[in-house]
C-alpha cells in the first residue's frame, strides 16, 4: 500500500505529521488503549510519539503495510490511529488494528476508519483481512461487526500481556467480496438495554454482578443442578461476567442478570445458549437467590426471555432440562408454557463418575406462554 490520504466521511486517514505528537501521546497514553495494546510503550511519552511518527510508522509502510493517523475531517486534528500489519503475501492476507482517543469514542470514528482502510486494502490486492480483539474488549468487537467483519473463532494464546503472559484473542475476518457491514448478529441487543414486565427486569450480565452471582452459584441447591455439580471459583464467575457481552456479540449465548424491578437488586440469573443456530434452537437455564424465591419472579423472567427469543431473535424452538427431582424448576417451566417431552437417561455427568438423568422440556412460538 502507499501512504495516500483516504477520505472517509467524518474522518480522513492521512500519514502522521510531527505536530501530531502531543495528541498521539495523550491518546496512546489512555489506560484503555494501553490495556488492549500491550506492545505500546508505558508510559506513552511525547518522545515515544515522535519515534512512532519518524521511525515506527515509516517502517510499517516500507514493510508493505499501512500506518495512518485518523483525523477529524473538519479540523484535521488527530483522533486515533489505524494500520495494517502482519502481511502474508502468499495468502493475500493481513491484519487490521486501530485505537481511538477518549474524546472521540462512541462517534463511529473507528468504524468509519476501518471500513475505509479495508476498502483501500482490497483495492490494493489483499483478499482477506483479520482483526484480533481481546475477549474483554466488546467496544472493539462492535467496531469489527459494524465494519463487516465476521467472528471466526478463538486464537489460543495469541495475545501477549505486559507481564509476559499470554491470553486468547477473538479472530474477526472480512473477505474482499464481503459487504462493508454491519455484519448480521444472531443475538441482537435488548431494546433500551433491558426486558421488563414491571416486576422483573432482565439485562445483560456485567462485571459488577460478580459477587451476587458467585453467592448464587455456590449455594448447595444450585451447585447440585450445575453441569458437573461442583461449585465454581470466584475467578470463574468473574470471567463469566467479564465476557458476557463478548459471548452475546459473537452469538454464542445471552447471559442475563435477573433483577427485582422494584429495588433494582440482583435476584438471580438466566441465560439463553444458542446451541443449534442451524435449526433455530436454543437452550435456557435459570436460578434464583433464596430471598427472592416464592414470588413468581423466575416464571416472569422465563416468559420475558421467551418473548425476546421468539421475537427479535427469531428462534423456532426453546428447550430446557431439569433434574427429575427438581420439581420447583419444573413448575416454572409448566407455568411459562413449556411441555414435558421425555426423559434423557444418563445425559449429564454427576459426582464421582456417575451419570444423571435429565427431563427434557420444550416451547414453540405457537405454544401459549
- For 238-285, the pLDDT digits (tens) are 999 999 999 999 999 999 999 999 999 999 999 999 999 999 999 999
How does pLDDT run across 318-344, given as a tens digit for each residue? 999 999 999 999 999 999 999 999 999
Q: Are 101 and 78 in contact (CB under 8 A)?
A: yes
Predicted pLDDT of residue 3: 84
Residues 6+ apart with CB under 8 A from 84: 1, 60, 65, 66, 94, 95, 96, 117, 121, 129
Give the mean pLDDT of 104-133: 96
How does pLDDT run across 29-54, given as a tens digit for each residue? 999 999 999 999 999 999 999 999 99
User: Taking Cα atoms as reference points, which of 290, 286, 317 lies closest to residue 300?
Assistant: 286
Q: What is the pTM assigned to this prediction?
A: 0.93
Backbone conformation region of residue 294, classed left if phi is above 0, alpha if psi is from -120 to 50, else beta? left
Predicted pLDDT of residue 2: 79
Predicted pLDDT of residue 353: 82
Cα(354)–Cα(246) distance, integer angstroms: 34
Give the mean pLDDT of 88-101: 96
Cα(101)–Cα(43) distance, integer angstroms: 16
pLDDT band at 229 (very low <50, low <70, confident <90, very high): confident
Q: Are 286 and 254 in contact (CB under 8 A)?
A: no
Give the Å distances, CA to CA, from 160 to 85, 166, 220.
Answer: 16, 5, 38
Q: Are 239 and 182 in contact (CB under 8 A)?
A: no
Give the mean pLDDT of 210-221: 96
Give the mean pLDDT of 298-311: 98
Strand 281-288 with 317-322, pairing: parallel
**Domains in the chain and their CATH numbers?**
6-175 (3.40.630.30), 191-363 (3.40.630.30)
Its sign, for the CA torsion 40, 41, 43, 47, is negative
Give the mean pLDDT of 108-135: 97
Predicted pLDDT of residue 184: 96
Predicted pLDDT of residue 82: 98
pLDDT of residue 138 exceeding 90: yes
Q: At 39, list the grid cell.
A: 506492545
pLDDT of residue 235 exceeding 80: yes
User: Taking Cα atoms as reference points, which of 133, 128, 127, 129 lies closest to residue 158?
Assistant: 133
pLDDT of residue 316 exceeding 80: yes
Q: At 246, list the grid cell.
A: 463478548
Give the mean pLDDT of 194-211: 98
pLDDT of residue 1 exceeding 90: no
Give the mean pLDDT of 182-202: 97
pLDDT band at 157 (very low <50, low <70, confident <90, very high): very high
Residue 212 — φ and ψ, nearest 5°?
-65, -35
pLDDT of residue 13 exceeding 80: yes
pLDDT of residue 60 exceeding 90: yes
pLDDT band at 123 (very low <50, low <70, confident <90, very high): very high
User: Taking Cα atoms as reference points, which of 203, 310, 194 lies closest to residue 255?
Assistant: 203
- The proportion of the chain whose per-residue pLDDT surpasses 90, expressed as a percent, equals 93
**Which of 2-11, 19-28, 109-118, 255-264 shows the lowest mean pLDDT across its residues?**
2-11
Task: Report the 10 Å Cβ neighbour count for 258.
Answer: 27
Q: At 205, list the grid cell.
A: 450480565
Give the mean pLDDT of 96-124: 96
Q: Over the chain, what is the mean pLDDT?
A: 95
pLDDT of residue 199 exceeding 80: yes
Amino acid at each position: 500500500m502507499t501512504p495516500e490520504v483516504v477520505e472517509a466521511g467524518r474522518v480522513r486517514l492521512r500519514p502522521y505529521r510531527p505536530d501530531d505528537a502531543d495528541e498521539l501521546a495523550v491518546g496512546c497514553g489512555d489506560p484503555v488503549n494501553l490495556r488492549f495494546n500491550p506492545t505500546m510503550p508505558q508510559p506513552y511519552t511525547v518522545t515515544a510519539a515522535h519515534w512512532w511518527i519518524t521511525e515506527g510508522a515509516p517502517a510499517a509502510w516500507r514493510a508493505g503495510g499501512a500506518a495512518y493517523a485518523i483525523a477529524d475531517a473538519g479540523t484535521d486534528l488527530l483522533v486515533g490511529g489505524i494500520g495494517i500489519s502482519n502481511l502474508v503475501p502468499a495468502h493475500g492476507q493481513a491484519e487490521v488494528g486501530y485505537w481511538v482517543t477518549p474524546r472521540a469514542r462512541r462517534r463511529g470514528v473507528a468504524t468509519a476508519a476501518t471500513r475505509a482502510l479495508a476498502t483501500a486494502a482490497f483495492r490494493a490486492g489483499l483478499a482477506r483481512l483479520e482483526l484480533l480483539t481481546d475477549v474483554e474488549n466488546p467496544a472493539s468487537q462492535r467496531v469489527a461487526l459494524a465494519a463487516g467483519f465476521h467472528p471466526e473463532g478463538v486464537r489460543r494464546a495469541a495475545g501477549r500481556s505486559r507481564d509476559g503472559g499470554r491470553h486468547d484473542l477473538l479472530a474477526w475476518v472480512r473477505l474482499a467480496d464481503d459487504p462493508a457491514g454491519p455484519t448480521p448478529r444472531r443475538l441482537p441487543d435488548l431494546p433500551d438495554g433491558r426486558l421488563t414486565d414491571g416486576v422483573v427486569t432482565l439485562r445483560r450480565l456485567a462485571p459488577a454482578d460478580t459477587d451476587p452471582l458467585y453467592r448464587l452459584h455456590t449455594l448447595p441447591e444450585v451447585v447440585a443442578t450445575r453441569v458437573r455439580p461442583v461449585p465454581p471459583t470466584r475467578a470463574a464467575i468473574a470471567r463469566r461476567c467479564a465476557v458476557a457481552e463478548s459471548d452475546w456479540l459473537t452469538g454464542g449465548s445471552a447471559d442475563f442478570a435477573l433483577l427485582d424491578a422494584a429495588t433494582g437488586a440482583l435476584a438471580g440469573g438466566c441465560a439463553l445458549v444458542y446451541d443449534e443456530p442451524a435449526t433455530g434452537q436454543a437452550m435456557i437455564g435459570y436460578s434464583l437467590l433464596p430471598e427472592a424465591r416464592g414470588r413468581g419472579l423466575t416464571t416472569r423472567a422465563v416468559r420475558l426471555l421467551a418473548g425476546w427469543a421468539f421475537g427479535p431473535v427469531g428462534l423456532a424452538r426453546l428447550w430446557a432440562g431439569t433434574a427429575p427431582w427438581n420439581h420447583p424448576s419444573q413448575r416454572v417451566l409448566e407455568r411459562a408454557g413449556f411441555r414435558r417431552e421425555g426423559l434423557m437417561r444418563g445425559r449429564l455427568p454427576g459426582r464421582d463418575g456417575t451419570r444423571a438423568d435429565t427431563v427434557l422440556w420444550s416451547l414453540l412460538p405457537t405454544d401459549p406462554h
